[in-house]
Chain A
Amino acid sequence: MDTAIIIEKSVLIVAVFALTMLMAMYATLAERKVAAWLQDRIGPNRAGKGGILQPLADGLKLFSKEEFLPDTPNKFLFVAGPAISMSVALMTSAVIPWGDKLEIAGRTVIMQATDIDVALLYVFGVLSVGVYGIMIGAWASNNKFSLMSAMRASSQMISYEVAMGLSIIALLMMTGTLSLREIAAQQSGMNWNVFYQPVGFLIFLVCSFAETNRTPFDLAECEAELIGGYHTEYSSMRMGFYLFAEYASMFISSTILAVLYFGAYNYPGMQWAVENWGVNVANIIGFLALFAKLCFFIFFYMWVRWTIPRFRYDQLMRLGWQMLIPLAIANIFVTAICILWSDGNLF
């Protein structure tokens, strides 16, 4: 492996890392702003112009809080919990294709930190590990309510992972690949997967809400029943990590939604742009297009959060097991029939 590749990849990874952190930071501000606007308020507007420095102020506040360690037999796990949550949230971003390729100094640079051909499986694997962050942290807290919250979170995540996986299978049958890069490339033009897999998209979307623990599936956090949530015993920056991880994973799951179903970095006229303006310009526009799409999804998450109340726990489980999973399986069958039919193999 030559140095150029190492440098290229390091730069990419750092850029992606910085982007994720920045987006997670500003998602906290955006959430508060969107909440305020939807409720006819103005929202935080004192720190910096229009509240632009609010995330820094929040971070500073968390940093300056006392780092409290409860009387727990598992100090190591207590510290490991938020770390796992955070690193898992960040790890997923490694396989996301941010664009097709750039040509810098005669080299073709792929705009993706790493292109593994089981990227989708990797995403799922890492996502499922995310439960451990919550579960371990809550368990090590030595607090019944935290544990109860973690039970809720993990059983919900595991239930919805099934439906999520099944909805993805239909997509895989169509694309025939697990590589996110190829899935992105296949959607060039306006061949966005959402047009071919509307039901799959819907299921995936609902499951993403459950996976990121957001309203209407945010039962893991509940002041009235559980005092706080799985992070009740946490304070200072450890608490901050949990909250931050939630926003980071929201950013990542928005990105995955955009990549899988909304054409990734493709935009109408990309081919024309490549021919007329060159690869670099076309791909930077592509990156911006992806960025716009994922921003929309982040907004969508918030929009839903401030619109509908949460489900009851039994409603949540019924929705997952009795509606989404059968629907996802039906979707697989319909997709299979359609594929056979379009190939002319049916009858």
Chain B
Amino acid sequence: MALQTMSLSGRKKEVSNKKMTFLERLYLWTIIKGMMITIGHLFTRKVTIKYPEQVRERSKVYRGQHLLKRDEQGRENCTACGLCALSCPAEAITMTASERKPSEKHLYREEKYASVYEINMLRCIFCGLCEEACPKDAIYLTESKVLVPSQYDREDFIFGKDKLVMPLTEAMKNAQLKNAN
């Protein structure tokens, strides 16, 4: 086979410069044919997902918004070791560590805790590496279907502990479930 006509991809097409037939040169017939195609599309089912009302089905391994866990006694797991921040490829996590006071024993499981824990949701790529790095089972990505909602200020995308820490009621529910089993 000559080199010029060889097709490596198998998709090569010869350009044809054939003369148009009379019917094609009239345009009319071809236009009518085209219009028949488009009118067919008028009646096809639309594939659009109307977003806020309908949500696209997510994959089984989908993980969204983070959760800072509490243990069964309602204490925060996180010890502010900073491993999550270190492992984060997007450098989304920052925190400030504090020492637990004796009176706060019921609030924090470890002697050191994160007084500030912030994730910048504009940076986060939901890779889950923070979850993997955590030695205290403290941070998890949840199955929450709510994506980060749009805001007017950048500050609103930095989620602090108020948004990240698991609610107490849920911790209690978990404890009850565990006791029941």
**A residues neighboring B (CB under 8 Å):** 34, 37-42, 45, 202, 303-304, 306-308
Contacts and interface: CB of A to CB of B under 8 A. Distances in A.
Given A307-B31, A307-B34, A308-B34, A42 B39 contact: no
Query: For the side of the interface on B, what is the size category?
Result: 10 to 19
B180 interface: no
9 contacts: A34-B42, A37-B41, A37-B42, A40-B41, A45-B50, A303-B35, A304-B31, A307-B35, A307-B37
Nearest to A45: B50
A306 B46 contact: no
A36 to B, nearest CB: 8
A37 B38 CA distance: 9
Given A38-B42, A303-B39, A308-B35, 11 more contacts: A34-B42, A37-B42, A37-B46, A40-B41, A40-B44, A40-B46, A42-B46, A303-B38, A304-B35, A306-B38, A308-B31
B48 A41 contact: yes
Contact of A38 (B28, B41, B48, B50): B41
A304 B37 CA distance: 11
A39 B37 CA distance: 11
A40 B35 contact: no
Contact of B47 (A37, A38, A40, A308): A40
Contacts of B35: 303-304, 307-308
- A contact face: mostly helix, strand, loop, or mixed: loop
A308 B32 CA distance: 10
A16 B34 CA distance: 35
Contacts of B44: 40
Give the 7 A-B CB pairs with smallest separation, nearest first: A307-B38, A42-B48, A38-B38, A307-B34, A37-B42, A307-B35, A38-B41
B181 to A, nearest CB: 48
B23 to A, nearest CB: 15
A41 B46 contact: yes
Interface string B19-52: 0000000001001001101110110101110100
Contacts of A307: 31, 34-35, 37-38
B50 A42 contact: yes
Contacts of B47: 40
Contacts of A37: 41-42, 46
A236 B84 CA distance: 53
A38 B40 CA distance: 8
With a 10 A CB-CB cut-off, give which of A40, A42, A45, A306 has the most chain B CB atoms. Answer: A40
Contact of A39 (B31, B34, B41): B41
With a 10 A CB-CB cut-off, give which of A38, A42, A303, A304 has the most chain B CB atoms. Answer: A38
Contacts of B39: 38, 303
A40 B48 CA distance: 8
Contacts of B37: 307
Contacts of B41: 37-40
